[in-house]
Amino acid sequence: MKFLPIFLKVQSYSCLIIGGGHVAARKAELVMKAGGRVEVCAPEMDARFQHLAQQYEGLLTLTTMTVEADQLSAILEQRQLVVAATDNDELNAQIAGVCQQHSILCNVVDDGEAGSFIFPAIIDRDPVLAAVSSSGQAPVLTRLLRGRIEASVPAAFGLLGRLATRYRARVKQELPNISRRRAFWEKVLTGAVAELVFSGEQTQAETLLERQLQAAKADSREIGEVYLVGAGPGDPDLLTFKALRLMQQADIVFYDALVSQPILDLVKRDAELIHVGKRRSNHTLPQHDINRLLIEHALQGRRVLRLKGGDPFIFGRGGEEIEGLMEHQIPFQVVPGITAASGCASYSGIPLTHRDYSQSVRFITGHLKDGTLNLPWQEFVHANQTLVFYMGLNGLHIICQQLITHGRDAETPIALISKGTTPEQKVITGTLATMPAQLEQQIVHAPTLIIIGEVVRLRSRLGWDSMPDTE
């Protein structure tokens, strides 16, 4: 990140713009719109400045003069913000240099590197503002992104912000508990009140807000809610809309080791993050302790996010966690995630089923217990069946051996997928006979998934990922 995004209060600033073209006029309007006093110095002024002088009466001073380099120290004295907007690159650079010497904020138009700040593209829904920047590197991309945000944020969003501003102090007094207050505002700002504002029904919106505030005040319960959310196999683009929305609402997050950092980065910034492990034979917290923590924090009125790699109900122990929540009558939501089998198979170009090769698929845990895998191996020998082993990396040699021993063809194709769906995805293909020896020559990192069956042969034709196989 090359620039720190901040919102600057400029009402008391003395701002100077050197240059009188249409770009200088745009910068002057932005500063004055935020309440800043602006002086413009240039030998000639764009016609738009006369209109701005009338629109922002008392905030704009126009000084017709040619600024020379030897005048800069005197002209810039006592300024807090300067914009260099001349058509002389050398003069612009000199302005930036003097500003740097005197610790004055300076923007050089069309040269983000020369000054100390840049103007972002702004989405104005006063009092709500959103700013978008490409650090001065791709202004067209910035404008395109601003257009997308503009289209997705209703024009009346500012009215909703003003309504919230009027009620903020009162709601804080009526609902002193921060969790209840936050839940109240989320209900207001994402529910029927917001829809009334967007429809232009301000009076009805305020009436409904009053009614909801009284209801929230009368409800003394402080039981929170638990969200069991599947984070998918690693690629944040595979999250569901509902998963992302709940991730942005949670007060505290209990996450597994298999949840990728890009996904954690999407959690609400001020949420408390607690790592609870859950890798094979290396659990930061035992499952019963995780169950207890979910209950304890929900009973404190917090919104608790249980963030799991893959899907909560496929080797995710989601059912165990729900049982404890139901015993304590704690509200909960379950959000399915794309399980590793689906995500890794798709990103590797391996269909789990195919009319010509496999008419069924089985998901199997490869988690070792007491050094053995106690599984019904005789059920896994059908040639037209795809087997998917979760957590099977350390037991891969046993898996291959047992399948061959129980009758599966030793030439059956197998794929080992490491860090599936992420930029670090690695796919190793072979057969039941060759894979154990191949693995000894490889460095493989968890999480991994094993796919066994004739469908693996299709990877050579259907694989759309750019990562080469290792055989």
Q: Is 453 annotated as a binding residue?
A: no
278 is catalytic: yes
Q: Is 233 annotated as a binding residue?
A: yes
Q: Find out whether 436 is annotated in a ligand binding site.
A: no
Residue 111 marked ligand-binding: no
Known binding residue 311? Answer is yes
398 a known binding residue? no
Q: Give the strand pairing for 332-335 and 225-230.
A: parallel
Q: Which amino acid is at 241?
A: F
Q: In what order do the strands lie in the sheet with 14-18?
A: 60-64, 37-42, 14-18, 81-84, 105-108
Q: Is 424 annotated as a binding residue?
A: no
CB atoms within 10 A of CB 173: 9
Q: Which is catalytic among the residues 46, 235, 256, 426?
A: 256
Select from 317, 314, 266 the least CA-distant residue to 294: 317
Structural tokens at position 463? 């694989």
Is 309 annotated in a binding site? The answer is yes
376 marked as part of a ligand binding site: no
Catalytic residue among 278, 308, 419, 426, which?
278
Cα–Cα dist 115/83, whole Å: 9
Write the burial class of residue 390 (CB in 10 Å: 0-12 exposed, 13-18 middle, 19+ buried). buried
Is 422 annotated as ligand-binding?
no
Residue 310 is assigned to a ligand binding site: yes
Which tokens belong to 156? 């009346």
Known binding residue 67? Answer is no
> Is 256 a known active-site residue?
yes
- Is residue 340 a known part of a binding site? yes
What whole-number distance in Å separates Cα of residue 336 and Cα of residue 322?
Answer: 14
Q: How far apart are CA 110 and CA 93, in angstroms?
A: 12
Q: Is the peptide bond before 376 cis (omega within 30 degrees of 0)?
A: no
Which positions make up the binding site for S-adenosyl-L-methionine? 233, 309-311, 314, 339-340, 391, 420
The catalytic residue positions are 256, 278
Which positions make up the binding site? 22-23, 43-44, 233, 309-311, 314, 339-340, 391, 420
Which positions make up the binding site for NAD(+)? 22-23, 43-44
